[in-house]
Amino acid sequence: MSQSLTIEPLGATIEVEEGQTLLDAALRQGIYIPHACGHGLCGTCKVQVAEGEVDHGLANPFALMDFEREEGKTLACCATLLSDATIEADIDDDPDARVIPVRDFHTSVSRIETLTPTIKAIWLKLDQAIDFQAGQYVQLVLPGVEGGRPFSIANSPQQVAASGEIEINVRIVAGGAGTAYLHEKLKVGDKLTVSGPYGRFFVRRSLHDATGVPLLFIAGGSGLSSPRSMILDLLDSGCNLPITLVYGQRNAAELYYDAEFRALAAKHRNFSYVPALSEDASGGGAIGAAGATGTIAPAKGFVHDAAREHFKGDFSGRKAYLCGPPVMIEACLGALMQGRLYERDIYTEKFITAADASKPRSAFFKRV
């Protein structure tokens, strides 16, 4: 049995199946409601219920406070309908967002590689072609794990089209059921259901092409996945604007795909690569950069400090794309905003886990 959901201000009415979340129903009809974690943790998908009744599902009490429930708010990613309803959502019109309805894919695991002591790369062979924008993510349904688990697609649309495989890079989270399953139980040949594509973390290509604004990517940990897909896509499609990747890891053993980015920096004059290690910087050296100037050892320090030093504290005239754990995003927002970038110049993808749900939201930034 289904019920009707009207989404304002679009005035669109869609059918929602019993037990289906409002977000899932909207995305499958090609209607984008802003969201991030996908399982009630971050509050990005908060909407106002103007008419009708909803079940709030697994909404985390910090992401949807009691007073907000009383005011008629709900989280679209975990709310289901108890009657026909109307919601008011904060729908923005982004000229670079393509309308790609979310679909389910049946996949089989074709390859697993240990990239670092904490990160595995997993390749999933799809049963049908996937259309996505570089930077977007998929949700994995895992046996015995409640709710989907989001992972960014780490290879480029061109690579996915050629191989029929998506690559995800998964960092193990202490006490996390989903990442433990992927690291410890998953085997080549296993079948997994994946849905996607999700998210609005992609390059604002029309803006860069029109204005020539350089691109700055800052990635921390397994947050390299989206920027890797975006950078490979940009370079493959002949973008000749200046592109910089500042990439932070704890130590040299964790600095995966380092050789790939050094090779890309050597090949493309417009691409610079700045690795940084927070715990040790084997080889020493000041701030590292690999590019036209040659290969230098990684910087020592946090990724936001490496970015600040590389750009001498002045980021003006750029657009920044940040991807990684919330603490890294917060530190980078501080550095970028002190360095003359504004909220409108910065796009973020926060790799939120359940443990982040109870932490305060950004003091710097309204969009996350």
- Site residues (CB under 6 A) for ligand FAD? 36-37, 137, 145, 149-152, 168-171, 173-179, 199, 222, 225, 349, 351-355, 357-358
Rounded distance between C-alpha atoms, residue 54 and residue 82, angstroms: 5
Nearest distance from C-beta of residue 163 to ligand FAD, angstroms: 18
Residue closer to ligand FAD, measured from CB, 309 or 356: 356
Is the CB of 169 or the CB of 249 nearer to ligand FAD?
169
Residue 177 beta carbon to ligand FAD: minimum distance, rounded to whole angstroms: 4
Q: Looking at beta carbons only, is 3 or 136 nearer to ligand FAD?
A: 136
CB of 119 closer than 8 Å to CB of 171: yes
Residue 294, sorted as left (phi over 0), alpha (psi -120 to 50) or beta, turns out to be left
- CA of residue 312 relative to chain centroid, distance: 27
Give least dist CB 367 to ligand FAD, A.
14
Minimum Å distance from CB 272 to ligand FAD?
23
- Measured from the CB of residue 39, what is the shortest distance to ligand FAD in angstroms? 8
Nearer Cβ to ligand FAD (3/133): 133
Could you give the CA distance from residue 142 to residue 339 in angstroms, rounded to a whole number?
42
Question: Which one, 299 or 357, has the nearer CB to ligand FAD?
Answer: 357
Shortest Å distance, C-beta 211 to ligand FAD: 27
In three-state form (DSSP H/G/I as H, E/B as E, the rest C), the secondary structure along the chain is CEEEEEEECCCEEEEEECCCCHHHHHHHCCCCCCCCCCCCCCCCCEEEEEECCEECCCCCCCCCCHHHHHCCEEECCCCEECCCEEEECCCCCCCCCCCCCCEEEEEEEEEEEECCCCEEEEEEEECCCCCCCCCCEEEEECCCCCCCEEEECCCCHHHHHHHCEEEEEEECCCCCHHHHHHHHHCCCCCEEEEEEEECCCCCCHHHHHHHCCCEEEEEEHHHHHHHHHHHHHHHHCCCCCCEEEEEEECCHHHCCCHHHHHHHHHHCCCEEEEEEECCCCCCCCCCCCEECCECCCCEECCHHHHHHHHCCCCCCCCEEEEEECHHHHHHHHHHHHHCCCCHHHEEEEECCCHHHCCCCCCCCCCCC
Closest to ligand FAD by CB, 18 or 146: 146
The residue among 109 and 170 lying less far from ligand FAD, judged by its C-beta, is 170
Strands 119-126 and 165-171: antiparallel
Q: By C-beta, is 28 or 340 nearer to ligand FAD?
A: 28
Residue closer to ligand FAD by CB (options 45, 234) is: 45
Q: Nearest residue by C-beta to ligand FAD? A: 176
Least distance to ligand FAD from the beta carbon of 289, Å?
25
